[in-house]
Amino acid sequence: MDIIIEPITLELKTPFRIAHGISTTRQSVLVHLGEGVGEGALIPHFGHSQSEVEAYLAQLDANALIGGEPLSLEAALDRLPPGPAPARTAVDMALHDLWARQLGYPLYRLWGLNPAQAPLSSLTFSLPEDEDEIRQQIQAAAGFPILKLKLGSGSLETDEALVRLVRRETGARLAVDANSAWSVGEAAHIIPRLAACDLLYIEQPIPPTGAAAWRQLRRQLPPGLPPLIADESIHQASDILALNGLVDGINLKLTKAGGLREARRLLTLARALGMQVMLGCAVESSVSITAAAHLAPLVDFADLDGNLDVVNDPYIGVRMEQGRLHLPDGPGLGIRRRHYRDNNQDENVVGQT
């Protein structure tokens, strides 16, 4: 068996702005192991490159990795050498897909999970340039029960005004994500003001400089606020342990964790410490989003909309309808290759405009 490496550039319908910058495309790498498919999505501010991921994958021996038939998933995962998290994620995902396909069941069934128990997914608003843009996003998101607003405009007044505007114009549940944009002092000032807007959670308000900054923030905040969720601050188990008691929850992304197995381990650790868990994503294809959706019944919050704005998504998988995730019922991840008969076709989204 060969490992087939497929670098791809995901093109976006509209520019995606966050505090870290603006994207019109995102890089990713697909991995094929027999029938198994995985994806290593690249998040620009995490520093990994497409060429770095390809180099890691190119040095793997598929036959040595798999070790014969039938595939022993845990043994194969144990053989993976250290390397960039997105590259390990791609192989981990392909191995899970191949294993479940060989057994003839959807991955979630082999884990004993019920997709109907997954939380509703949020729909993320790109950081707008002006109020007209945010109103257009609100209109396009009509019917979605949970909205997540990207903040970090560079002005606390603008950030607060955006949240209050959205709160006035929609009855949806609201969450915000500052993507590390605020200093500890700025976060301590704005978080209590935003809490008055009945937020579901506040994600990564401060830069990921370590536990000391989170401890300083906690000391300055009053009780009774929405949960504080760490994202950029969380990459591995030691990060979760360091923030125990300082954050209310973590945002798990497969491409940060290194794949499905490690994400499940981190999820278990966070739960043992009493933390809430969000399952998040970057701009990714339906390969990654579908893989993450198989884990969704285990978490409190889902933010799995990273494929919805992709023009050239190479696969069809999980569908989202008014925030509800609908997993395919085929074996493995259940994904299938998309054949573009119409460049405007989008078979992954129902009820999304």
- Whether residues 199 and 320 share a domain: the answer is yes
Residue 124 belongs to a domain with what CATH number? Answer: 3.20.20.120
Tens digits of per-residue pLDDT, 140-158? Answer: 999 999 999 999 999 999 9
- Whether residues 265 and 146 share a domain: the answer is yes
For the chain, how many structural domains are there in total? Answer: 2
Query: pLDDT at position 210, please?
Result: 94
- Domain range spanning residue 93? 3-105
Residue 22 belongs to a domain with what CATH number? Answer: 3.30.390.10
Q: Are 263 and 93 in contact (CB under 8 A)?
A: no
Tens digits of per-residue pLDDT, 60-117? Answer: 999 999 988 889 999 999 999 999 999 999 999 999 999 999 999 999 999 999 999 9
- Whether residues 52 and 145 share a domain: the answer is no
Residues in the chain with pLDDT values less than 70:
340-353
Query: From CA 204, how far away is CA 51, in angstroms rounded?
Result: 29
Domain boundary among 105, 122, 137: 105
Query: pLDDT at position 347, please?
Result: 47
Query: pLDDT at position 281, please?
Result: 97
